[in-house]
Chain A
Amino acid sequence: VAKTSLTSPPWPEVKLPDPVEEAKYHAEVVRKVNGLISAGHYGRLFAVVHFASKQWKITSEDLIMMDNVLGAECGDRIRMEKVLLVGADDFTLIGRPLLGKDLVRVEATVIEKTESWPKVNMRFWRRHNFQRKKIITNPQTVLRINTIEIYPCLS
């Protein structure tokens, strides 16, 4: 068959590496990372956590403010599940989409439960004598992330 514009696909041809060698390489990498974690050769850990319908990139000794009320009193310790990503300087653990609970542990304490600054919500139509003014104060909670820990249970 002659070569036309449609014989070969428009993307450049790519060859994937050998699956057997790839599996060996993956196992080696997993062993190395496990060794690093168990030996403790990491500095500051950062994590991406899904909390209060938002995703946050957090480290230890971090302050987080959310625009809602939690069912916890001031001074309560909270453990955050739903961790999406954990990383340090040399390695990152990417969850698909979440990481296991026996891998990561994120602890936080509730510090403050306040209200936001009074926001003005005003609607106005000209020439129609329509004016509504409302002052909204949202309840807010402030959390401090105490620690992020990882355990060497990769496979």
Chain B
Amino acid sequence: QHFRGRKNRCYKLAVRSVRRAFVRSTKARREKKRFLRALWITRIEAASLEHGLKYPAFISNLLKSQVELNRKVLADLAIYEPKTFKSLAALAQRRRQEGFLAALGDGKEPEGIFSRIVHHH
């Protein structure tokens, strides 16, 4: 901060470094959003792993059960409200199991298909 070396004393060098500092701050303002979102995602992943769920499973099941909380709020809940986060993880787990059961279907084999086992002697 406030520039190292002759950049904080000499006008010509200072002009160049201040200009670069302004440009870098404008670009960083756009990248701060990406960085913060990645941070929230890592935090939510850690918290959901503590409850035995992986992050993609957690998020997709929450969205499928129509709970639209964004990552910032989920990260804050994981830090300050552990019980609420546990209940959300349980909700996601239950929705995941219901999805598995729905994907399995009736458990019968489709019609018109026969299975044949080949024996090699």
Contacts and interface: CB of A to CB of B under 8 A. Distances in A.
A, B from the same assembly: yes
A123 B29 CA distance: 13
Given A57-B77, A94-B88, A97-B66, A133 B97 contact: no
Contacts of B73: 48, 55-57, 84-85
A142 B82 CA distance: 29
Interface size class of B (residues with CB under 8 A): 20 to 34
A92 to B, nearest CB: 5
A11 B26 contact: no
A1 interface: yes
Given A16-B97, A48-B73, A92-B87, A123 B23 contact: yes
Taking chain B's interface residues, is the majority helix, strand, or loop, or is none over half, making it mixed? helix
Taking chain A's interface residues, is the majority helix, strand, or loop, or is none over half, making it mixed? strand
Contacts of B97: 14, 16
Nearest to B75: A57
A56 to B, nearest CB: 8
21 contacts: A14-B100, A16-B101, A48-B77, A55-B70, A55-B72, A55-B73, A84-B67, A84-B69, A87-B81, A87-B84, A92-B84, A94-B88, A94-B91, A95-B67, A96-B66, A96-B67, A119-B25, A121-B26, A122-B19, A123-B26, A124-B23
Interface of B: 19-20, 22-23, 25-26, 29, 65-70, 72-73, 76-77, 80-81, 83-84, 87-88, 91, 97-98, 100-101, 103-104, 109, 115, 117
